[in-house]
Amino acid sequence: MTASTAPPSAPLLAIRGLSKAFLGVQALDGVDFTLRHGEIHALLGENGAGKSTLIKTLTGVYQRDGGTVALEGREIAPRGVEEAQRLHIGTVYQEVNLLPNLSVAENLFLGRQPMRWGLVDRGAMRRRARAVLQPYGLSVDVTAPLGRFSVATQQIIAIARAVDMSAKVLILDEPTASLDAQEVAVLFKVMRTLRSRGIGIVFVTHFLDQVYEVCDSITVLRNGRLVGERRTADLPRLDLVAMMLGRELEAAAHRIDLGPAELDSRPPLASFKGFGKARSVEPFDLDIRPGEVVALAGLLGSGRTETVRLVFGMDRADKGEATVDGRPARLRGPRDAVRLGFGFCPEDRKKEGIVGELSVRENIILALQARQGWLKPIPRRRQEEIADRFIRLLDIRTPDAERPIQLLSGGNQQKALLARWLATEPRLLILDEPTRGIDVGAHAEIIRLIERLCADGMALLVVSSELEEIVAYSRRVVVLRDRRHVAELRGGEVSVERIVAAIASETPNPIASETPNIEVRQ
Amino acid sequence: MTGALQRFLPLVVTTAVLVVGFLICAAQFPNFASWRVVANLLTDNAFLGITAVGMTFVILSGGIDLSVGAVIGFTTVLLAVLIEQGGWHPVPAFAVALIAAGGFGAAMGGVIHVFQMPPFIVTLAGMFIARGLGFVLTTDSVPINHPLYGELNDMALRFDFGLKLTLPALLMLGVVVAAVVLAHWTRFGANLYALGGNRQSAELMGVPVARTTVAVYGLSGLLAGLAGIVFSLYTGAGYSLAATGVELDTITAVVIGGTQLTGGYGYVVGTFVGVLIQGLIQTYITFDGSLSSWWTKIAIGVLLFVFILLQKGLLVVWAGRGGEPAEA
Amino acid sequence: MTLSAPGPARNLPQYGALIAVLLANWLLFPDFFAIRLQDGRLFGSLIDVLNRGAPVALLAVGMTMVIATRGVDLSVGAVMAISGAIAATMTGAGWSLPAVLAASLAAGLLCGLWNGVLVAVLRIQPIIATLILMVAGRGIAQLVTEGQIVTFTSPALAFIGSGSFLTVPMPVVLTIVLLAVTALLVRATALGLMIEAVGINRLSSAGAGVNTPVVLVAVYVWCGLCAAVAGLIVTADIRGADANNAGLWLELDAILAVVVGGTSLLGGRFGLVLSVVGALIIQSMNTGILLSGFKPEFNLIVKAGVLLVVLLLQSPTLTLFLPRPRGARPIGTVKPPVAPTSGGAKP
For the segment A436-445, what is each residue's pLDDT rounded down to a tens digit? Answer: 766 656 677 7
Contacts with A361 from chain C: Cβ below 8 Å: none
Return the pLDDT at A249: 39
Return the pLDDT at B5: 65
Contacts with C269 from chain A: Cβ below 8 Å: 357
* Residue-number span of the structural domain to which B32 is assigned: 21-313
Categorize the per-residue pLDDT at C8 as very low, low, confident or very high, splitting at 50, 70 and 90.
very low
Do A366 and C210 lie within an 8 Å CB cutoff?
Answer: yes
Q: What are φ and ψ of residue A236, in 5° steps?
A: -65, 150
Return the pLDDT at C155: 86
Categorize the per-residue pLDDT at A53 as very low, low, confident or very high, splitting at 50, 70 and 90.
confident
Bridge partner list, A343: A429
Categorize the per-residue pLDDT at A207 as very low, low, confident or very high, splitting at 50, 70 and 90.
confident
Q: Tell me the percentage of chain A whose pLDDT exceeds 90.
A: 18
Q: Are A436 and A304 in contact (CB under 8 A)?
A: no
CA dihedral A275, A278, A280, A282 (to 10 degrees): 50
**Can you tell me whether residue A328 is helix, strand or coil?**
strand
Residues A432, A433, A434, A437, CA torsion sign: negative
Residues whose CB falls within 8 Å of the CB of residue B322, separated by 6 or more in sequence, listed in order: A150, A151
Do B132 and C127 lie within an 8 Å CB cutoff?
Answer: no
Does residue B12 lie in a domain region? Answer: no
**Can you tell me whether residue B275 is helix, strand or coil?**
helix
**Can you tell me whether residue C163 is helix, strand or coil?**
coil
DSSP letter, residue A145 = B
pLDDT tens digit string along C155-171? 888 888 888 888 888 99
Return the pLDDT at A439: 62
pLDDT tens digit string along C238-252? 888 888 888 877 888
Amino acid identity of residue A246, one-letter, is G
Average of per-residue pLDDT values in chain A: 82
Return the pLDDT at B295: 82
Return the pLDDT at A512: 38
Which of A353, A358, A371 is facing C197, going by the closest CB pair? A358
Return the pLDDT at B143: 87
Categorize the per-residue pLDDT at B97 as very low, low, confident or very high, splitting at 50, 70 and 90.
very high
Do A354 and C327 lie within an 8 Å CB cutoff?
Answer: no
| Least confidently predicted of A136-140, B32-36, B278-282, C120-124 | A136-140
Does position A520 have pLDDT exceeding 60, yes or no? no
Does position C270 have pLDDT exceeding 50, yes or no? yes
Categorize the per-residue pLDDT at A47 as very low, low, confident or very high, splitting at 50, 70 and 90.
low
Mean pLDDT for A109-134 is: 88
Closest B-chain CA to C313: B115
Mean pLDDT for B27-46 is: 88
Alpha-carbon distance of A267 to A327, in angstroms, equals 12
Alpha-carbon distance of B230 to A77, in angstroms, equals 54
Interface test with A, best of C70, C189, C201 (most A CBs within 10 A): C201
Q: What is the 3-state secondary structure (H, E, C) of A117-131?
A: CCEECHHHHHHHHHH
Q: Where are the alpha helices (DSSP H) in A284-409?
A: 304-312, 334-339, 360-372, 380-393
Return the pLDDT at C315: 65
Q: Where are the alpha helices (DSSP H) in chain B?
A: 2-7, 9-28, 35-44, 46-60, 68-80, 90-115, 119-137, 147-154, 167-185, 187-197, 199-204, 209-235, 246-256, 268-288, 294-320
Q: Phi-psi bin for C341: left (phi > 0), alpha (psi -120 to 50), beta?
A: alpha
Return the pLDDT at A263: 64
In total, how many domains does chain B have?
Answer: 1
Return the pLDDT at A264: 67
DSSP letter, residue A6 = P
Interface test with C, best of A331, A364, A374 (most C CBs within 10 A): A374
Contacts with C315 from chain B: Cβ below 8 Å: 115-117
Which of B117, B126, B300 is facing C135, going by the closest CB pair? B300
Return the pLDDT at B3: 57
Does residue B69 lie in a domain region? Answer: yes
Residues whose CB falls within 8 Å of the CB of residue A82, separated by 6 or more in sequence, listed in order: A60, B206
Return the pLDDT at C154: 85
Q: CA A211 from chain center: how many Å?
A: 16
Return the pLDDT at C17: 80
Closest B-chain CA to A91: B204
Mean pLDDT for A21-42 is: 86
Does residue B66 lie in a domain region? Answer: yes
Q: What are φ and ψ of residue A6, in 5° steps?
A: -70, 125
Q: What are φ and ψ of residue A390, in 5° steps?
A: -75, -30
Does position B11 have pLDDT exceeding 90, yes or no? no
The neighbours of chain A, by the rule of 3 or more Cβ pairs under 8 Å, are B, C
DSSP H or E stretch at residue C317: helix C316-319
Return the pLDDT at A518: 41
| Least confidently predicted of A49-58, A498-507, C10-19, C54-63 | C10-19
Does position B223 have pLDDT exceeding 90, yes or no? yes
| Least confidently predicted of A37-41, C44-48, C215-219 | C44-48
Alpha-carbon distance of B298 to C191, in angstroms, equals 34
Alpha-carbon distance of A206 to A221, in angstroms, equals 13
Q: Complex ipTM above 0.90?
A: no
Contacts with C210 from chain A: Cβ below 8 Å: 366, 370
Q: Tell me the percentage of chain A whose pLDDT exceeds 70.
A: 88
Does position C5 have pLDDT exceeding 50, yes or no? no
Which of A352, A357, A404 is facing C207, going by the closest CB pair? A352
Categorize the per-residue pLDDT at B95 as very low, low, confident or very high, splitting at 50, 70 and 90.
very high
Categorize the per-residue pLDDT at A262 as very low, low, confident or very high, splitting at 50, 70 and 90.
low
Asked if CATH classification 3.10.20.30 holds for the domain at A253-341+427-494, the reply, yes or no, is no
Contacts with B204 from chain C: Cβ below 8 Å: 327
Residues C183, C186, C188, C193, CA torsion sign: negative
pLDDT tens digit string along A456-506? 888 999 998 778 788 878 888 999 888 888 888 887 788 888 888 888 876
Interface test with B, best of C131, C144, C251, C264 (most B CBs within 10 A): C131
Amino acid identity of residue C344, one-letter, is G
Q: Is B121 in CB contact (< 8 Å) with chain C?
A: yes
Does position B217 have pLDDT exceeding 70, yes or no? yes
Do A100 and B197 lie within an 8 Å CB cutoff?
Answer: yes
Mean pLDDT for B213-217 is: 96
Q: CA B206 from chain center: how many Å?
A: 29
Q: Are A407 and C338 in contact (CB under 8 A)?
A: yes
Closest B-chain CA to A105: B190
Contacts with C343 from chain A: Cβ below 8 Å: 407
Cβ neighbours around C347 below 10 Å, total = 9
Amino acid identity of residue A6, one-letter, is A
Residues whose CB falls within 8 Å of the CB of residue C326, separated by 6 or more in sequence, listed in order: A60, A61, A80, A81
Return the pLDDT at A73: 84
Average of per-residue pLDDT values in chain C: 82
Does residue B127 lie in a domain region? Answer: yes
Q: How far apart are the first and last CA of chain A?
A: 12
C-alpha pair distances (Å), B295 with each of B298, C141, C143:
5, 11, 8
* Closest CA relative to residue A192, chosen from A220, A172, A165: A172
Contacts with C329 from chain B: Cβ below 8 Å: 200
Cβ neighbours around C290 below 10 Å, total = 16
* Superfamily covering domain A13-245: P-loop containing nucleotide triphosphate hydrolases (3.40.50.300)
CB hemisphere CA count around B288 (13 angstroms): 14
Residue boundaries of the structural domains of chain A: 13-245, 253-341+427-494, 352-425
Cβ neighbours around A382 below 10 Å, total = 12
Does residue B15 lie in a domain region? Answer: no
Q: Is A85 in CB contact (< 8 Å) with chain B?
A: yes
Contacts with B295 from chain C: Cβ below 8 Å: 139, 143
| Least confidently predicted of A110-114, A255-259, B314-318 | A255-259
Do C136 and B293 lie within an 8 Å CB cutoff?
Answer: no
pLDDT tens digit string along B112-151? 998 888 888 889 889 888 988 888 888 888 888 888 888 8
Return the pLDDT at A255: 52
Mean pLDDT for A424-437 is: 86
Contacts with B251 from chain C: Cβ below 8 Å: 131
Return the pLDDT at C275: 93
**Can you tell me whether residue B148 is helix, strand or coil?**
helix
Return the pLDDT at C323: 35
pTM score of the predicted model: 0.80
Return the pLDDT at A257: 53
Return the pLDDT at A2: 43
Alpha-carbon distance of A181 to A152, in angstroms, equals 11
Q: Is B304 in CB contact (< 8 Å) with chain C?
A: yes
pLDDT tens digit string along C175-233? 999 999 999 999 889 999 999 999 999 989 999 999 999 999 999 999 999 999 999 99
